[in-house]
Structures are given as C-alpha cells and as structure tokens.
Structure 1
Amino acid sequence: MLVAAVGVVYGDIGTSPLYTLKEVFSGHYGVQPNEASVLGILSLIFWSLIWVVSAKYVLFILRADNQGEGGIMALTALARRSAAHYPLLGKTLVLLGVFGAALFYGDSMITPAISVLSAVEGLQLAFDGIENWVVPLSVVVLVGLFLIQKHGTARLGVLFGPIMVLWFTVLGALGIYGILQRPEVLHALNPFWAVNFFAANPGIGITILGAVVLALTGAEALYADMGHFGRKPIARAWFLLVLPGLALNYFGQGALILGNPEAVRNPFYLLAPEWALLPMVALSTLATIIASQAVISGAFSLTRQAIQLGYVPRMFIQHTSSQEQGQIYIGAVNWTLMAGVVLLVIGFESSSALAAAYGVAVTGTMLITTILASSIVLLLWKTPRWFAIPMLLGFLLVDILFFSANAAKILQGGAFPVVAGIVLFILMTTWKKGRRIVLERLDETSLQLPAFIDSIRAQSPHRVRGTAVFLTAKADGVPHALLHNLLHNQVLHERVVLLTVVSEDTPRVSPDRRFEIQAMGEGFYRVSLHFGFIEEPDVPAALKLCQLRDLSFDPMKTTFFLSRETVISTRRTGMSRWREGLFSILLKNANGNLKYFKLPLNRVIELGTQVEM
C-alpha cells in the first residue's frame, strides 16, 4: 500500500525539483546565485515543506476525512455540516469549496503541461539544435497520455509505484552526490538563513514565495487521494521516502549552484553525471507522465463527486477497472483537459514561461482548504480554542503570504487558471441554482400526494398490471410525468412507486440505510434511495433490496417513467437572462437520468415538461 501511495499521491510534488530552483534563479525575481541567496532559498523551501506539507497536510488536514474520503468536495460537505446552525456561514463555505474545486481544474491543466515540458527540456543539454522540437515532443507525449485514458490505467498503475520509488531514490542519491561536493549547503537547515534572506532582500521579499511555492505543488493530492490509500500509508510514504528524497535533491542542486553559478540554467539535470543525462530525461518523462496521470484521475474523481452533490450536470461515467472502484473515465472532462493542456504548451512554449502562471490556482486551493478545515476544527470537532486558534492562524498566515506572492502572477500569464476557475465556478453555481429553481417551479404546480390519492380512491381510473416507477425530486408531490401519463393514457398501474434518489454528504451509505419505503394506500408507495457522493447510483440494483410482500420490482413487469424538462425564459424572479440561457444549454447537453441511474433501456418512458424560469 505504501509503494502504491508513492506512485499515485506523490507524482506531482515529486517532479517539482525539475523546475523549482531553475525558476527561482531564472532572473525573473532578481535573485543572485550567491551563498546568502542559495542558502536562504533552500531554507525557505525546506521549512515550507515542513510547515505546509508535513504539519498542515500530513499531520492535520489528513485527519479531516469524510468517512475515509478526502478532497475539496469531501471537505466542503464536512464544512457545510459543521455550519449547520449558521446558514449564512454554511452557504459561504460551500461557495468557497466550489470555487476551490473550480481552481483545481485549472491546476489539472497546468500540471501536465509544465511537468512534461520540464522533462523534455533536458534533451537540450544532450543535443544541440533540438530547441524547436521540445514543444512538438511534449504535445505528442501529452496527447498520447490523454488518448489512453479511455482504456483505463489499471495495468499501467502497477508500474507507477516502483517507478516513483526509483525516482525518489535517484533524487536522494543525486542530492547526496551534490552535498558531498559542498557540505556547507547543509547550513540552510537553520531557519536563520530564510529570515536573513527576507531581511537582506526587502525588495524581493514576499515576491520570491511565488517561485518557492513551486516546491509545494501537489500537496493537495495528499488529501484528495486519501480515500484510495488511507492516512497512514500516505503519511509513512512522505516521512520515510518522499520528504528525504526531495530535501536531499534540493540541497544537492543548491550545492551545485554554489560551486558553479552558471548551473542555474538547469540545476536538476546538471546535477547528474554526464553519462546519466539521457537516462535521467527518460526517467523524468516517466515521472511527469505519472504525475499528470494522478492529476487527470483526480479531475475525474472530483467531477463524479460534484455530479453527486448537484454542482455539475450528469455525465456518462465509464469504469475502467472491475476491481478498483476509483478508476473511472469521463470523456467530456478528458477531452476538455487535453485541449487546455495542448493550448498551454503551444502558448507558453517553455516551462519557465509556464511557471509564471503556475501557483495561483495551487495557493488559492490551499488557502480555501485551510478556511474550510478551520470551520470543522472549531465547530464540528470543538477542539480547545487555546490550541486550535494559534495553529490555524499559523496555517492561514503562511497560505495568505503564498497566495499574495502569486497574485502578482495574474498579470504575467497567471490569469489563465483564475479565468478558468471563474468560468467553471459560474457554470457550477448556475447549474446548482438552476436545478433548484426548476424544482421550485415544478413544486408550485404539483398536487399534494394525499389529496391525489383521495381523488383516486373516489374515482379510480383503469388499473393495469405491473409496477410503474416515477422518478421525482419531491417526495411529497405528484410527479408531472404521472399526471401526464394519467391525462393522456387514462390508466394507472396497479402498483405506483414514487422514487426519490437522495445524494448524501457522506461518501458511502451503508446497506441498511440504502432505502426507505412507505405504503400510501391505493397501491401507491413512496421510496427513497440514498447514495453517497462517490457511489454509483444503480437504481435497479438498489430496488432489488426493497422487495415486500405486496411490492416487487420484477424487471419484466416494471416500467420507469421519467420527466424531461424544457426551460422557457420569462421575466420571473430567479436568475438573470444570460444565466437562464446558460442553464438551458447545460440542461440540453446533460446526460439524462436513464443512463445515469442505469435504468433498462427497453423499460423507460420519457414525458416532456415545460418549466418557466
């Protein structure tokens, strides 16, 4: 489990040495490769890894699990629960969490682009005149990665762990090799050098954190992938292998720069012996592909959670492994990410240029994670304030400093992840609000179930054999599909089931809580099916658990009735016209209930309903 965690969880942060020190000394920040600067930067990187990754994520955030699941959406669900008695606070926390999820998608595009570009750029040190081939080769590698997604990564995943273990071992070995040349680089373990750097460079100060944060990119993956491996394997992998490998390599690169300031052009590859350059390029490319795969898989998982929580339209989800539940493929997300990644590579052309855009989304998500976790610690866990408040303020202060340093990048190309995050935030909140308004409009014109059953009892229509299942979001109202069927066909089945599918804030729902059933009389039943936000809502399979003496769901005698809404824009209070138009487009392109709930194709009848927004 520990080796598997290394392969999946630490791919992103594990490839940061490829470009972090290179970017710091690139000349964008005015940092000179002298002893004070090198030791100061190394001290900043080391203590950032200790405070942000080790203390905040590994020792603190990983404890904020939602029944074993992690990630920004799982944390948002917990935060909403913690603020149950404070409606305004709860709504604010949910919006922050949704925006954090939107920023993650921006990060999902930048990570593969900058990682693969950094690896392929190593060829420039081995072959002259290959500069013009870096971008095309990077595009080929990335397009190939996205093309294999639909086939699943179950077999390839077996190799991820051993390759990344080899990667971190090589990082550490190269670091030791460099440190032995200039042992004085270990003085950077003293945080004095970090403080001294800020004091000696007031003009650079906070700005340099925009480059230092590159060493932390991927820290969010520790929490996002917790559901696959658990807290302990992730923590052990960090302290036993990943942190030592990263720290040694950064110090080795620093030692190289101390001995040869010209090595700042690419300290990672120049740290390796000349004979090992091409093998290092090959290993680096494999490591960056693995890092990219982890981010892409994370985007798929996040999308599934967002769909279940009602923030993203339903999409077709393909399971690529019969053994692993978390291995899924979502075509719309895959091709959108691929387009964004390719455009980034072609537009920025180098890892140095792309590094200017990197960090805004990462630090924004880190800051939001701390805010959400703070509400959980103070309101849900009720941790003693004398301990919780100083700790949380320490995390918030560092996150704010990193975010402030990266905010300046918005004008240097960093606008891309911000704009992408804003666009996705608008789409997600528009869908959520639009669905709520649609349900309100339908509720306004629906009949109450008890009154409807009384009318059936007084004047019963013709009843036909079998069971009719009507999906409805409102358990106490009569579905429009039922009214339309009765109006046009003038018949009712002998058993009528009003089915409501409920998505819970928890990742999974135990079998004993899967369904609730209530007999309403006159052959009517009210059934509620409960699913967690990472579960696959297989309605026919769940209904098999609901067998009663007077109610059965024989597949050949059960018909499912669905309502397909068509939105009509009006002047009624709800959303602005442009958001109504946007919601209408999303609604038309959303995957229907038929596929999403895995209903049998030959047992479904859809009836249309017009809804005035």
Structure 2
Amino acid sequence: MTAAGSAGQPGPATDTAPQPGHGVRDATRLALVVGALGVVFGDIGTSPIYALQTVFNPADPHPVPVAPESIYGVVSLMFWSMVIIVTVTYVLLAMRIDNDGEGGIMALITLLHKWKQGRGRRAALTLAALGIFGASLFLGDSMITPAISVLSAIEGIEVVEPRLDSLVIPLTALIIVVLFLVQRKGTAVVGRAFGPVMIVWFGVLAVLGIRGIGGHPEILKALSPYYAAHFLFDHFHIAFFALAAIVLCVTGAEALYADMGHFGRPAITKAWLILVFPALLLNYMGQGAMILEDGAAVSGPFFLLAPGWARLPLLLLATAATIIAAQAVITGAYSVAAQASRLGYLPRLRIDHTSAEQYGQIYVPWINWLLMVSVLTLVFAFRSSHALAYAYGMAVMGTITIMTLLFLYIAKSRWQLPLWLVVGGGAVLIGFDLLFLAANFTKLVHGAWLPLLIGLAAFTVMVTWQKGRAIVTAERERREGPLRACVKQLRAELPKTNCVSGTAVFLNRGKLTTPLALRANMEHNHVRHKQIVIASIETQPVPRVGDEDRVKEDFLGFADDGIVYVQIRFGYMEVQDVPRALAQLDRAGHGGRLHIGDASYFLSTIHLHASEQPTMAQWRKHLFIATSRITADAADHFRLPRERTIIMGSQIEV
C-alpha cells in the first residue's frame, strides 16, 4: 500500500495495490455464484436429459419428423426460447423488480397487496388472484419435477444396459422416498456440495455438446432466427405441436427469480450468462448434430452423446444432478407454502428452519409428506418421463405467463413507463408465452390436465381459506368487543379483582378487539395478573424486520398501571418467536419488571361448525373446516413455552 493509502487518504487513480476487503468481497461473490449454480439452476440444468428426446418422440400423437429442417428449426426454437423467456423476461427484466430483495411470484403478489388501497385497486386484486393461481401451478410443478427429473435420469439404464429396464420404476421410487425422508435433517450439509457437483455437470454438458457439434458442425446454423421462424411459420402444423415439448428447455426459469433473495441478482445473472446458458446451448446443439447424422439417436440423444465407456459415469452424474433439481424445487414448494400461510392464503403451518447459515432452508412437514405421496403416485401412474413431459410443460408455461403479466403491471406502476412501451414490449413477451401455452393445451388429454387440476385444487383451497378466514374474523370481532373499553373496565374493577403476581401475555389479532381468553378470565375467573401484556403479531409484506422496528408498545391512552398493548412485527420469512421479541421490549423500556422469562401465555382458540347462513357454499364451508385441521399448533408456531401456555376455547359457526 502507498504512504497516502496507509495514512487514510486515497491513492492516485493509477494505484493498483489491493485494498483491504477486496479479496473477501471477491470470495463472497464467487461463493454466491457457486451456491446459485447448486440451487437455482438444478431444474433448468437437467432439461437436456429429456427435452429434445421428447420433441422427437415417435409415440407422440403429433410426431415431429426426423428431417434436417425440423432438427434445425427445433434447435433454433430452443435457443431463442432460452433467449426470450429466460434471458430477457427473467434475467434482464423481472429480476429488476423485487420485494426488499426477494423475488418470485409470491413477491409480486405481496407488492400487489401493498397497492390494494391505491389507484387500480380492482386490477391489483384481479392480478393478485391470478398470481395465487400461478403459485398453485408452481405447487403442481413441485410434484411433477422430482418425478420427471429422477425418472429421466434412471431411464438412462435403458441406454447403458437395456436388460435392466425393469429396474427403472423401483429405483426411481426408492430415490424419491429417500429424498423426502432426509428433508427433515435439512439441506445445509448437502447444499455445500451442490455447487461443485453442478459445475461438473455443466462442464460435462458443454464437453458432450462440443463432441456432438464436431461430428456435424452445420448445426451451428441453428443460431440464426431464420431457422426458428422458417420452421414455425412454414411448417406451423408441425411446429405448433412441437412447442409443447420445446418448452421443456426453459423449465426452472421461475427458480432464477424465486431464489434471487438468497443469492442476489448479480450472482444469478453471472452464473446464467457465463456458464449455464452456454453449456445448455452447446448440449442441445450437440444432440441436434448427432440426430442429423443418425436419426435413430432420437431414442436417447443425451446419453448417446457420450462414448460407451462414459455412459455409466454419466448416468450416475445425471442421477445426482436430477436429485439436486428435485431438492431445489421441493425447497421452493416449502417457501411458497410458508409465504402463502403468512399472507393469509393457507392455515398456519409448522415450519422448521434447518440451517443457521442459510435462512431460506426450511422444512414444512405437512407439505413434505403431501409432495412425497403425490410424486410417488405420478411415478407409478405415468411410468415414464415421456408421459409426464406434457404435464410438466403446462405447469411451467402457466406459471411463466402469469408471472409475466404481474411483472408488466408492476413495472408500469413502479417505473412510470409509458403505456405504449408496456403494451408494445409486453405484447411480444406475452405473445410468445401464449403461443407455448396454447400448444400445451393441445396436450390436455395426454397429461396437460394434471397441473391444471392440481393448480385448480390448490387455488380453491387458498381462496376458500382466505374467504372463510374473513368470515370467522368478523364474527370473532363481534364477540370480543372493543379492547379499549375492556381495558378501561379492567382498571375500574381492579380493587374488586383478585390480582396475582407475575406477567400474563394474551396473544391477540390487533388492538381494536379484546382477546377472548382475557374476556373469559375477567367474566368467569375474576382474576388478573399484576402485569398484562396484550400482544398482536403482524406479518409485514417484507422478508425481514429489523430489531429497531420489531416491537411497538401502546398504553391505550391510560397511565402505565400494569397493562400494555404490544405490536410485534415479523417479516413473512421469519420465525415468529414471541418470547424472544417480548424480551427485547422488557429490556428496552420496563427495566425487567415484565419478567418475560417466567410469563404465562394465554391463547384463544375457536371450534368451527358449518351454519345454514349464506356466507359461502356448503361445500366450501366444509372445505374450510377441513383445511383448518392442518393448522399448526399455535404454541409451537409462536415458540411459546408449553408448560406456561393456557388455551381457552370458543365455538364459531361459519
């Protein structure tokens, strides 16, 4: 370092001496890129195993002929699909909009919720509902991805040793069961190995692709948009149906956006542009070149790219990569379900954080077992990656199309863009998405109905829960009565009430109404604690809340005589640890006299029954009540000590 630098002054512009912290920052950026490779790109990175093979599947009801113009056209369409959908829509555009660093369709829904009260409220509500359907489709994607990914890899046995084809289904089922059984242990340890494995994977993809291109370098002509346009418009009767399989080359695009909060936009962008995109393109072109040379290679172009001696190691590497892809989408399903729960679209779910280093590593038991049963059912029902491919494409394009619509609406509002620019640019992106979506609708009877059914079922559950929750909340507020009046009554009756030492914490939904448990204590037990804390928990539409904004107290217009209302704020991605938050309040303003360490916690619970009132259709009432049974235990959810938690109940008709 120069003398000026050591004295604390900046050196000259030409000074190239390393500055403190540069190496650490560079190492951190590299670690983020490697981490993104291991988590974000697992799904889209394993698409070469089955995408091109599915396009030329001879058993398809609308088979694509294995002819030079078809091969050039398909490979060209794959290239330009990755350019338009992944690079332009997601990497260059959508990832510029975030909710405090978080991305994905749930982040866009959260932004829409923020604008419900402003201009365009009706449009925001409509798009939010559409976004919930997109999130529901993603849950369907989470069921299909592990099935098709692991199946496609294990099917490589048929290329390596055809006599072992009967082992495909049992081995796939075994891997899936083990994968879901280990979820409870967390992925922190395995996650550290994800990045290096995927670096090897993408390196192998590129090498195999170059090997294939070397045999027929004319395939490089497919980089020209002429071949994509020529195939699409001059052979539309073939190309349109082929789009339903070509879309498989962009599966996992949503993961780039959804995981932005964990790795940041720069890391994901660099990983995509520098390694992932080139490796995928080379491999697809290598497969296309091999099919040009030998049409029989359509039976398994990915594994046939490798020399005979390398196919078994490639099979093992592909299996590892598909397990990583499945792991990534399972973790994504946990995140979507957790965020939906915190935004009021699902009941309160038990959520376990499995890593101290990676905040996004969570485990949701109920979702885990639901996914395992669903994935195994798909494996045994469809029995091949070909059969699942069209179901997969529908889930992917449905989510992408809805995400693009939400992005365009939010981009116009946030960036104050002129309408003509949004409509013009958006028409190109949406038109491209809708073309793929329409092609997938032609495969409804061949499996595309499955993600729509799953998405519709999940959407129905979510909106029914939201509606039923609003009905129950209204009835509950009527019974609870105003909080200020109750506190005033408590203070007035203090001389006549048995007062016991200690602190009682009553969890409530806000400061307008009285906790049912507090009212029951007053009216039936005629007892109160010396210190009463009425605490409400508010989930903010941001991922995390700083400690300085965590708690806010209010004496409700009265002097501090032992009754205080506290609002506790959590981000929608945080563990809602109430005792820990209240301990912060105790230290800050009450000198330790709240004694949170040995406080008693009172919970108000309700029992639901279907009424004859026309609040909802009867079947929706029963669905709401059934859904309420998966609600996580409140004491566990809010990290309350079991031995000091009292639950008091009430009955409400829906």
Letter matched to residue 6 of structure 1: L
Alpha-carbon contact 1:174-1:252 (below 8 Å) kept: yes
Task: Pick one of 11, 16, 23 that aligns with 2:54.
Answer: 23
Pick which of 385-394 and 504-513 moved more.
385-394
Letter matched to residue 60 of structure 1: L
- Structure 1 segment 140-539 matched on structure 2, within 5 A: 140-460=174-494, 461-520=497-556, 521=558, 522-539=561-578
Shift of 1:249: 0.4
Pick which of 9-18 and 518-527 moved more.
518-527
Aligned residue for 2:144?
110
**Residue-by-residue CA offset, 1:231-265 (whole Å, 9 max, x unaligned):** 00000000000000000000000000110011111
Are 1:33 and 2:69 matched, yes or no?
no
**CA separation of 1:199/1:168 partners in 2, compared to 1, >3 Å: closer, same or farther?**
same
Aligned residue for 1:52?
85
Shift of 1:552: 4.0
Letter matched to residue 85 of structure 2: V
Alpha-carbon contact 1:314-1:591 (below 8 Å) kept: yes
Aligned residue for 1:69?
102
| SS of match in other structure, 2:346 | coil
Pick which of 283-292 and 304-313 moved more.
304-313
Pick which of 503-512 and 581-590 moved more.
581-590
> What is the number of residues matched between the two proteins?
613
Letter matched to residue 575 of structure 1: M
Inter-partner Cα distance in structure 2 for 1:570 and 1:327: 41
TM-score (norm 1): 0.97
Inter-partner Cα distance in structure 2 for 1:255 and 1:458: 87
Shift of 1:307: 1.6
Are 1:598 and 2:639 matched, yes or no?
yes
Shift of 1:154: 1.3
Are 1:546 and 2:597 matched, yes or no?
no
Shift of 1:322: 2.4
Letter matched to residue 99 of structure 2: N
Shift of 1:557: 4.2
Letter matched to residue 589 of structure 1: I
Inter-partner Cα distance in structure 2 for 1:302 and 1:403: 23
Moved over 4 A (4+): none
Inter-partner Cα distance in structure 1 for 2:287 and 2:92: 28
- Structure 1 segment 576-595 matched on structure 2, within 5 A: 576-595=617-636
Pick which of 378-387 and 344-353 moved more.
378-387
Are 1:4 and 2:43 matched, yes or no?
no
Alpha-carbon contact 1:80-1:93 (below 8 Å) kept: no
Are 1:611 and 2:652 matched, yes or no?
yes
Pick which of 575-584 and 53-62 moved more.
575-584
Alpha-carbon contact 1:12-1:218 (below 8 Å) kept: yes
Alpha-carbon contact 1:443-1:474 (below 8 Å) kept: no
Alpha-carbon contact 2:583-2:596 (below 8 Å) kept: no
Alpha-carbon contact 1:79-1:373 (below 8 Å) kept: no
Inter-partner Cα distance in structure 1 for 2:108 and 2:593: 39
Task: Pick one of 605, 615, 621 that aligns with 1:574.
Answer: 615
Shift of 1:82: 4.1
Pick which of 182-191 and 193-202 moved more.
193-202
Task: Pick one of 116, 119, 122 that aligns with 2:153.
Answer: 119
| SS of match in other structure, 1:571 | coil
Shift of 1:386: 4.3
Shift of 1:88: 1.8
Inter-partner Cα distance in structure 1 for 2:540 and 2:445: 40
- Structure 1 segment 123-142 matched on structure 2, within 5 A: 123-142=157-176
**% same residue:** 44
Inter-partner Cα distance in structure 1 for 2:609 and 2:549: 38
Inter-partner Cα distance in structure 1 for 2:420 and 2:100: 27
**Residue-by-residue CA offset, 1:571-610 (whole Å, 9 max, x unaligned):** 2242222221222222233112111000111111100011
Task: Pick one of 560, 564, 569 that aligns with 2:601.
Answer: 560
Aligned residue for 2:111?
78
**CA separation of 1:556/1:242 partners in 2, compared to 1, >3 Å: closer, same or farther?**
closer
Shift of 1:445: 2.2
| SS of match in other structure, 1:130 | helix
CA RMSD of aligned residues (A): 1.5
Alpha-carbon contact 1:495-1:551 (below 8 Å) kept: no
Inter-partner Cα distance in structure 2 for 1:26 and 1:158: 37
- Gaps of at least 5 residues in structure 1 are none
**CA separation of 1:273/1:299 partners in 2, compared to 1, >3 Å: closer, same or farther?**
same
TM-score (norm 2): 0.91
Inter-partner Cα distance in structure 1 for 2:147 and 2:590: 59
Inter-partner Cα distance in structure 2 for 1:311 and 1:603: 30
Pick which of 499-508 and 195-204 moved more.
195-204
| SS of match in other structure, 1:289 | helix
**Residue-by-residue CA offset, 1:129-156 (whole Å, 9 max, x unaligned):** 2222111111111111111111111111
Inter-partner Cα distance in structure 1 for 2:134 and 2:429: 17
**Residue-by-residue CA offset, 1:150-177 (whole Å, 9 max, x unaligned):** 1111111111111111111111111111
Alpha-carbon contact 1:516-1:527 (below 8 Å) kept: yes
Inter-partner Cα distance in structure 1 for 2:467 and 2:246: 39
- Gaps of at least 5 residues in structure 2 are 1-31
Alpha-carbon contact 1:472-1:498 (below 8 Å) kept: yes
Shift of 1:83: 4.8
